[in-house]
Amino acid sequence: MKEEIVKIQQEALARIAEVTDRRGVEDARVAILGKKGVLTMAQTGMKDVPKEDKPVVGQLLNDARKAITEALEAKLAEVQALADKAAVAGVDLTLPARSLPMGGLHPLTIIRDEAIGILRRMGFALAEGPEIEDEFHCFDALNTPEDHPARNEKDTFYFDSGKLLRTHTSSVQIRTMEKQCPPVRIIAPGSAYRRDEIDATHLSVFNQLEGLYVAKDVSVGDLKGTLEYLLRALFGADTEVRFRPHFFPFTEPSFEIDVKLKVSGQEPRWVEIAGCGMVDPAVFAAVDKERGGEPCYEGMTGFAFGLGLDRLAMIRWGIRDIRALIENDVRFLSQFQ
């Protein structure tokens, strides 16, 4: 059997040396080391080898298998190198590669980051909260009565559990006030959800940036100055801004803010971009009640505002249709790179 093993090894190495491709390497491996390969079949004869010869024969088998395996690996590397060389034959590898198109930030990301940067420099800190909310944080704590239209399932996305997709990021303001006493100065960017009919100026999912400032002796003048500074920092010193009296359950007095949209080829028109006002004392009372213990918002004043980031983008770049911001049209998005 010793002679048989030596012969198998010699013939196997000779066969491997003549192989010229990957298929040939695999065929040789199966023929020699496979389940029915010649070396594997020879190994089954160990049961007939005399006991005193088994150590020597076993060592020969191990040495043969090792030598054949190393030869197969070396041949595979050799034929792969030849195949790689053939694949690039005639190709000038010194030529510069084709340049790949560079991506860029989405316009909503650009306007959001700029607005956050401006407000951060004014002392506002970032805050966040869940997008799936309960009615207390989204409505009750914000002085919104049960019969208010915003609480109707025709206007708000409700789950069977009674929870809902937040209709504004004002819920983040409530959660922040529950955790800390004044002074509070935060901004809360994020998504909001409403059952709005989708058209040129409305989406059912939109992006908000809400702010809250609570301390002693905060005034309407502080509110107006903050928002005018923000909007003119975003759109230019000559930006036209107007405040219109309005009603919100959670602020009193309340205002809507319009900015004049100027689009090439169209008459300038006012576009509503924000709601704001002085925080209603009922909101402070609800927060203190939920907090329990010693009230810390009693006697405080503050203002709150909510900006539509989608509308800000429309004004900044003169976008006629808000739907362009969600259609992922590369021709549109490439303008902002």
| Averaged pLDDT for residues 206-234 | 94
Whole-angstrom distance, CA of residue 206 vs CA of residue 208: 7
Q: Give DSSP secondary structure letters for 148-166.
A: -GGGSTTTS-B-TTS-EE-
Q: Is the pLDDT of residue 263 over 70?
A: no
Give CA angle at 323 (192, 149), nearest 5°.
40
Whole-angstrom distance, CA of residue 233 vs CA of residue 59: 83
What Rg, from alpha-carbon coordinates, does the chain have? 37
Q: Are 310 and 271 in contact (CB under 8 A)?
A: no
Whole-angstrom distance, CA of residue 311 vs CA of residue 104: 20
Q: Is the pLDDT of residue 33 over 90?
A: no
Q: Which amino acid is at 110?
A: I
Q: How many helices (H) and strands (E) does the chain have?
A: 11, 9
CB atoms under 10 Å from CB of 69, counted, come to: 13
Q: What pLDDT, on the 0 to 100 scale, is given for residue 261?
A: 74
Residue 196 is given by DSSP the state: P
Q: Are 210 and 173 in contact (CB under 8 A)?
A: yes
CB atoms under 10 Å from CB of 82, counted, come to: 12
Q: Is the pLDDT of residue 282 over 90?
A: yes
| Averaged pLDDT for residues 25-35 | 87
Whole-angstrom distance, CA of residue 301 vs CA of residue 214: 6
φ, ψ of residue 258 in degrees (nearest 5):
-115, 150
Q: Is the pLDDT of residue 1 over 80?
A: no
Q: Indicate the SS3 state at residue 272.
A: strand
Going by C-alpha positions, the residue among 176, 171, 178, 163 that lies closest to residue 192 is 171
Which of the residue ranges 94-98, 187-191, 213-217, 302-306 would you say has the lowest mean pLDDT? 94-98
Q: Is the pLDDT of residue 39 over 70?
A: yes
Average pLDDT, the chain: 88
Q: Which positions ≥6 away from 27 have C-beta within 8 Å?
A: none
Q: Is the pLDDT of residue 48 over 80?
A: no
Task: Name the band, by pLDDT with cuts 50, 70 and 90, for residue 83.
Answer: confident
Q: Are 176 and 313 in contact (CB under 8 A)?
A: no
Q: Pick the residue with more confidence: 133 or 36?
A: 133
- pLDDT one-digit tens code per residue, 140-171: 999 898 888 888 888 899 999 989 999 999 99
Scan for tokens 């190994």, then name that residue.
43
Q: Is the pLDDT of residue 37 over 70?
A: yes
Strand (E) or helix (H) holding 60: helix 54-87
pTM of the predicted structure, to 2 decimals: 0.67
Q: Which positions ≥6 away from 316 have C-beta within 8 Å?
A: 107, 111, 234, 235
Percent of the chain past pLDDT 90, that is, above it, reads 45
Task: Using the Cα atoms of residue 153, residue 309, residue 220 and residue 131 in order, give the sign of their dihedral.
Answer: positive
Which of left, alpha, beta for 128 (phi over 0: left; psi -120 to 50: alpha)? beta
